[in-house]
């Protein structure tokens, strides 16, 4: 049997573990027996993941939970809405859930965010387990307790902090992931090296292609390293205090969320693709305002481009020529913005990020402005 590694998220009485390794989906009943024994389980899964992985999880939990129900939700970012939340809650309540029911999110970040928020508010709070099936969810959104939905005003503006009781990361499920989705998750892996661990960034430069091409050991190493990095930040700053350590995890996201909003969450731009382009914009802004070197900014861009991630605006807007004013307007609505000022996560250098709220938006505008067609 392949090695199973454990990462602890130390949150006092809410501490939990992340289990990482091959075959965990089939072993989920044993892994969750202490949480599920004699309790109902409601699996929330998107329609595409249900076809691939729901039967295995249902079989695994059947001998442990008193009853196992599955509720499917639409695939894609558009499902993460107030209407989607209301529909999911209505179907959960129709099942006769009680305070001992455990919600199990099976899928990517959208499913985890939606199911986690439903667990946070249903009956004033239900236990919650994350079983992420995308690389992005495995290294980022499944860890840390952020849940929520999007609104017309922006991404993730309605939600709650609701920590999972456990996270099971089965590395085998990545074999079913389309390469584009795998790349989108890889952007978040690179983020951890860029903001806090230059040695890990260098490891990715040397080994990232092995990870993307299916090397099991490389995948496990990168996922464990990413989860350890995030767990340490979450333990130090669970609820993202202003300018606190957790804010650093938003490197690339201020630009990236604006790009996603302009795309309308229609699937033409994946979250990780927006983050990749956003990290390059943030790194180049860092070089403009100092002290980050232009060499570090372009080194980050070169690595992302080398694996096939977008690094330029023209690669993400599909010829729609979004304007600097449009993008800045979305950035001003970002949940980290304060008093109309855009808060940026920038680099001092590769391996060290800082939060800056003193950047004149003209510096960002200069990066976002492009020559317009006559």
The set of catalytic residues is: 124, 146, 188, 230, 240, 246, 250, 253, 257, 271
Q: How far apart (Å, rounded) are the C-alpha atoms in residues 19 and 8?
A: 9
Structure-token pair, residue 251: 């490197």
In the three-class reduction of DSSP (H, G, I as helix; E, B as strand; rest coil), residue 160 is classed as strand
Where b means 16+ CB within 10 Å and e means fewer, 228-255 reads bbbbebbbebbebeebebbbbbbbbbbb
Which helix (H) or strand (E) element contains residue 156? strand 154-161
Q: Which long-range contacts (CB under 8 A, 24 or more apart) does 152-156 make?
A: 153/333, 154/257, 154/261, 154/330, 154/333, 154/334, 154/335, 155/257, 155/260, 155/261, 155/265, 156/113, 156/335
103 and 119 Cβ atoms separated by less than 8 Å: yes
In the three-class reduction of DSSP (H, G, I as helix; E, B as strand; rest coil), residue 306 is classed as helix
Bridge partners of 42, per DSSP, are: 69, 103
Expressed in percent and rounded to 5, the helix, strand and coil fractions of the chain are 55, 20, 30
Which helix (H) or strand (E) element contains residue 21? strand 16-21
Q: How far apart (Å, rounded) are the C-alpha atoms in residues 57 and 197?
A: 35
């Amino acid at each position: 049997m392949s090695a199973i590694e454990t990462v602890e998220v130390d949150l006092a009485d809410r501490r939990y573990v992340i289990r990482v390794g091959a075959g965990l989906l089939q072993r989920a009943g044993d892994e969750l027996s202490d949480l599920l024994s004699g309790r109902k389980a409601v699996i929330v899964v998107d329609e595409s993941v249900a076809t691939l992985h729901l039967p295995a999880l249902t079989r695994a939990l059947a001998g442990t939970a008193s009853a196992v129900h599955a509720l499917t939700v639409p695939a894609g970012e558009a499902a993460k809405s107030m209407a989607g939340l209301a529909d999911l809650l209505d179907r959960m309540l129709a099942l006769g859930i009680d305070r001992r029911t455990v919600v199990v999110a099976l899928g990517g970040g959208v499913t985890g965010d939606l199911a986690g928020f439903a667990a946070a508010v249903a009956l004033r709070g239900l236990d919650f387990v994350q079983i992420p099936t995308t690389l992005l969810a495995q290294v980022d959104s499944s860890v840390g307790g952020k849940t929520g939905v999007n609104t017309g005003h922006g991404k993730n503006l309605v939600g709650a902090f609701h920590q999972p009781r456990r996270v099971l990361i089965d590395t085998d499920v990545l074999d079913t992931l389309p390469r584009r989705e795998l790349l989108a998750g890889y952007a978040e892996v690179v983020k951890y090296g860029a903001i806090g661990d230059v040695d890990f960034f260098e490891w990715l430069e040397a080994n990232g292609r092995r990870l993307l091409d299916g090397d099991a050991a490389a995948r496990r190493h990168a996922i464990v390293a990413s989860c350890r990095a995030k767990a340490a930040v979450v333990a130090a700053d669970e609820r993202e205090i202003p300018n606190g350590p957790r804010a650093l995890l938003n490197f690339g996201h201020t630009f990236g969320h604006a790009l996603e909003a302009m795309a309308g969450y229609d699937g033409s731009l994946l979250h990780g693709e927006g983050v990749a382009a956003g990290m390059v914009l943030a790194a180049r802004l860092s070089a403009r305002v100092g002290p980050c070197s232009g060499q570090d900014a372009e080194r980050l861009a070169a690595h992302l481009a080398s694996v096939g991630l977008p690094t330029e605006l023209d690669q993400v807007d599909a010829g729609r020529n979004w304007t600097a004013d449009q993008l800045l307007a979305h950035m001003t609505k970002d949940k980290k913005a304060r008093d109309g000022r855009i808060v940026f996560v920038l680099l001092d250098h590769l391996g060290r990020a800082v939060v800056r709220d003193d950047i004149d938006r003209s510096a960002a505008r200069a990066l976002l402005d492009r020559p317009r067609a006559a």
